[in-house]
């Protein structure tokens, strides 16, 4: 328990310890919050992602293990020793941007979010993991605040849940709706994001997006005019990451 500044081992090896009334009250308060379905990550204030402990508040979506597949897929495609320019659209807690900055020591990342409250959490996380000097946080609707900039890769875990979908109570009642829902089909954000990403990528640049259950066919349609598209499954076998590569301009015939 964090208030006691004692870890699990201490608790297990000191069964005789008696809780102070104030500590007991705090403990009970947290149990009550959990009984009301508040996510444990908001109660404790943190979540691990890609081996990094991140601060989370109700201003940000709690990073999910599925999103680690996106980070892995990006790392498999991006060279480590090149000074890459990467944009993370809808950075939230900063999970993807920070994991990439941490693993790609030469990369510079523009991390965008429409929520200033989320950006504050993300910036604090970047400082904790010593990557704040390579991540530029900006308040932005998708790529709006990055107009005219060109990237080697664009990554995003955008909102993709249909407004008709019944989410679990602990998600629906506690996590930010603006990070979850994307219209009736769940595709509204992809429809705006994909053309913007195409304009902002260099030829041969990569777009990697997390997608929802059952969305891979729709995404394949939205990405049909890219040079290549592929999908990566999560551990449940559900296509979870859409990857597309921007085409190179056709070679002009030489005279
Ligand atoms: N995977 C999340 C959920 O199902 C949704 C995340 C998102 O919309 N990007 O709760």
The 10s digit of each residue's pLDDT in 98-140 is 999 999 999 999 999 999 999 999 999 999 999 999 999 999 9
Mutation to probe ligand 1, out of 39, 49, 161 (largest number of atoms < 8 A from CB): 161
Determine the CATH number of domain 40-245: 3.40.50.150
pTM (2 d.p.)? 0.94
**Ligand 1 atom, smallest distance to 182 CA:** 8
Mean pLDDT over each residue of the chain, to the nearest integer: 96
Ligand 1 atom nearest residue 167's Cα: 10
**Confidence at residue 253, expressed as pLDDT on a 0 to 100 scale:** 81
Q: How far apart are CA 239 and CA 229, in angstroms?
A: 12
Write the residue with the smallest CA distance to atom 6 of ligand 1: 180
Residue 1 has pLDDT above 70, yes or no: no
> Are the beta carbons of 87 and 109 closer than 8 angstroms?
yes
E strands within 186-227?
A: 201-210
DSSP 250: P
CB atoms within 10 A of CB 140: 20
Which residue ranges make up each domain of the chain?
40-245
CA distance 50 to 169: 26
CA 159 to centroid of ligand 1, rounded, Å: 7
Q: Please state the length of the chain.
A: 255
Q: Is the pLDDT of residue 254 over 80?
A: no
Query: By alpha-carbon position, which residue is closest to atom 10 of ligand 1?
Result: 171
Q: How far is CA 91 from the centre of its chain?
A: 6
pLDDT digits (tens, 9 = 90+) for 27-47: 999 999 999 999 999 999 999
Distance CA 88, CA 113 (A): 9
pLDDT in tens, 43-75: 999 999 999 999 999 999 999 999 999 999 999
What token pair was written down for 168? 């679990």
Of ligand 1's listed atoms, the one at least distance from the Cα of 171 is 10
Ligand 1 mutation pick, 89, 113, 160, max ligand atoms within 8 A of CB: 160
**How confident is residue 19, by pLDDT bands cut at 50, 70 and 90?**
confident
The Cα 19–Cα 23 span in angstroms is 6
Which residues sit with their C-beta closer than 6 Å to ligand 1? Answer: 61, 64, 157, 159-161, 167, 171, 180, 210
Whole-number Å distance, alpha carbon 105 to ligand 1 midpoint, is 29
The span from the CA of 151 to the CA of 218, in Å, is 25
Residue range 177-228, pLDDT digits in tens: 999 999 999 999 999 999 999 999 999 999 999 999 999 999 999 999 999 9
Which numbered atom of ligand 1 lies nearest the CA of 181?
8
What is the CA(186)–ligand 1 centre distance, in A?
Answer: 10
Among 164, 176, 210, name the best residue to mutate to test ligand 1's pocket (greatest count of ligand atoms within 8 A of Cβ). 210
β-strands 228-233, 201-210 pairing: unpaired
């Amino acid at each position: 328990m964090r208030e006691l500044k004692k870890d699990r081992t201490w608790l297990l090896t000191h069964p005789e310890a008696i809780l102070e009334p104030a500590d007991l009250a705090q403990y009970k308060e947290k149990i009550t919050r959990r009984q009301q379905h508040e996510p444990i990550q908001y109660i404790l204030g943190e979540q691990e992602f890609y081996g990094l402990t991140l601060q989370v508040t109700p201003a940000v979506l709690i990073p999910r293990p599925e999103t680690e597949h996106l980070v892995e897929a990006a790392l498999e495609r991006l060279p480590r020793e090149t000074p890459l320019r990467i944009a993370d659209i809808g950075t939230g807690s900063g999970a993807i941007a920070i994991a990439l900055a941490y693993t790609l020591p030469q990369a510079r990342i523009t991390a965008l979010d429409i929520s200033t409250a989320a950006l504050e959490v993300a910036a604090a996380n970047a400082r904790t993991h010593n990557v704040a000097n390579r991540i530029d946080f900006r308040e932005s609707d998708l790529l709006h605040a990055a107009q005219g900039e060109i990237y080697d890769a664009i990554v995003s875990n955008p909102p993709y849940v249909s407004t008709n979908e019944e989410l679990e109570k602990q998600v629906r009642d506690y996590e930010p709706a603006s990070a979850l829902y994307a219209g009736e089909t769940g595709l509204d954000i992809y429809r705006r994001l994909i053309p913007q990403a195409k304009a902002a990528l260099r030829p041969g640049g990569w777009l990697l997006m997390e997608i929802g259950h059952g969305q891979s066919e729709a995404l394949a349609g939205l990405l049909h005019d890219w040079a290549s598209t592929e999908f990566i499954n999560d551990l449940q076998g559900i296509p979870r990451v859409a990857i597309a590569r921007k085409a190179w301009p056709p070679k002009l015939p030489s005279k």
